[in-house]
Amino acid sequence: MTNAEQEALGLVFERPTFLSKVFSEKTILNTISIVSVFVAWALLVHFRVYRFVLIPSPAEVLEYGRWWVGTKVFWIDTVMTTGRVLVGVGAAYLIGIPLGLMIGWRKVFSDLTFPTLEILRPIPAPAYLPIAILLLPTQELSVAFIPFIDAFFPVLLNTIVGVKLIDRDYFRAARCLGSSPKQIFWHVVLPGALPSISTGCAIGMGIGWMGAVVGEMITGKWGLGYRIWESYILIRYPLIIDGMIAIGILGFASSVLIRYLTIRLVPWRKAITESLDESITK
């Protein structure tokens, strides 16, 4: 609608003031939110409230952080941790997705494998560590096993749900057109489940990062998790927080990356979050 038309109709438009007020109110509140965390932190440490005397102040953390980022150790640690997570989560994708597709597609397969998986599912990932050490050749892989287990089940369950959510009509249409099972798999099952798979991948990456650090703290010489633990023992407390922040940033970045990739690879995806959450947390 052009300005001339607007005037002819006798309506005057400006962004209503209340909207602009809300807009800036939003940014103000958001900023207060973030800033107050640091302010509260600094104040608690400064006034030595309770045991905050032991905790480094934001300034110390920042200073230490600047130094740490310049060291070689930091980069080795980061690469190690990221590598372990990516290997673990990647393995979860590589095993979980095909498995989930088969389980969702064929009842026979589901009956044969699912009960075993359901028994294994409640076992928390860190509890696998001793077995992982026995099973896997290197200590590296054992540490990567924990993110693997953490990410495996969300990916698996989301994939299964994804297959089950495919409208049965697609299968019927494919059969009408004379498709072989192999074709159905590649052209109906896989693409149809992709939206859910991508959600599962995102969730898996998030949970995988949670488990990344566990193994490092318990065993290991390199990695951000280990570095945090070591900082505690060596009484280099600011580094603990720097490490925590580093892990947080990396985890956040990888989640963003996965979400971006899935949006690119699955443009037709629609938000189907409800049913997925329910089946994950059964």
Partner 1 sequence: MSNNITVIESQFWRKFSRIVVNWSLARKILSLVIFILLWTILVQFIGYFHQIPTPKAVFLAIFELPVTLVLTNIALSFFRVLGGFFMGVLIGFPMGVAIGYSRILNRLIFPAFEMVRPIPPIAWIPMTVLFFINFESQAIFLTFYGAFFPIVYNTMGGISEVDIRLPRAAMSFGVGKRLMLWKVIMPAAMPQVFTGMKLAMGITWILVVAAEMLSNKGGMGYYVWYNHTVMDYPHVVLAMGIIGLCGAICSVGVGLVGNYFTRWQRIF
Partner 2 sequence: MVTASQKSEVVFKHVAKVAYSKKSHTVILNNCSFTVEAGKLTVLIGPSGCGKTTVVNIIAGYERVDRGEVIMDGKPVVGPNWERLVMFQEMALFPWLTCYENVMFGPIARALPRKEAHSEALMLLDKVGLGEFCDKYPSQLSGGMQRRAELARALINKPKVMLMDEPFRGLDAMTRKLMQEYYLKLFEEVRATNVFVTSELEEAVILADNLLVMTNKPSKVRKVIDVDLPRPRNWSMATSKRYLEIKGEALELLHDEAVKASAASGKVDVDLTGLLRNVETG
Would you tell me which residues interact with partner 1 (CB under 8 A)? 25-26, 29-30, 32-34, 36-37, 51-52, 54-55, 107-108, 111-116, 119-131, 133-135, 150, 209-214, 217-218, 225, 228-229, 231-232, 237, 240-241, 243-245, 247-249, 251-252, 255, 274-275, 277-278, 280-282
Residue closer to partner 1 by CB (options 15, 51) is 51
Residue 13 binding partner per list partner 1, partner 2, none, with a CB distance cut-off of 5 to 8 Å that depends on partner kind:
partner 2
Q: Which residues contact 5 (CB under 8 A, 6 or more apart)?
A: none
Q: What's the rounded Cα separation, in Å, for the pair 93 and 66?
A: 35
Tally of CB atoms within 10 A around 46:
12
- Among 3, 4, 11, 34, the residue binding partner 2 under the rule CB under 8 A is 11
Residue 135 binding partner per list partner 2, partner 1, none, with a CB distance cut-off of 5 to 8 Å that depends on partner kind:
partner 1
Distance of CA 65 to the CA centre of its chain: 24
Binders of partner 2 among residues 14 to 43 (CB under 8 A) are 15-16, 19
Which DSSP string do the residues of 106-175 spell out, in sequence order? -HHHHHHHHHHHHHHTTS-GGGGHHHHHHHSSSHHHHHHHHHHHHHHHHHHHHHHHHHHTS-HHHHHHHH
- What is the amino acid identity at position 108? V
Q: How far is the CB of 165 from partner 2 (least distance, A)?
A: 19
Residue closer to partner 1 by CB (options 121, 259) is 121
Phi-psi region of 269 (alpha: psi -120 to 50; beta: other; left: phi over 0): beta
Which residues contact partner 2 by CB under 8 A? 1, 9-11, 13, 15-16, 19
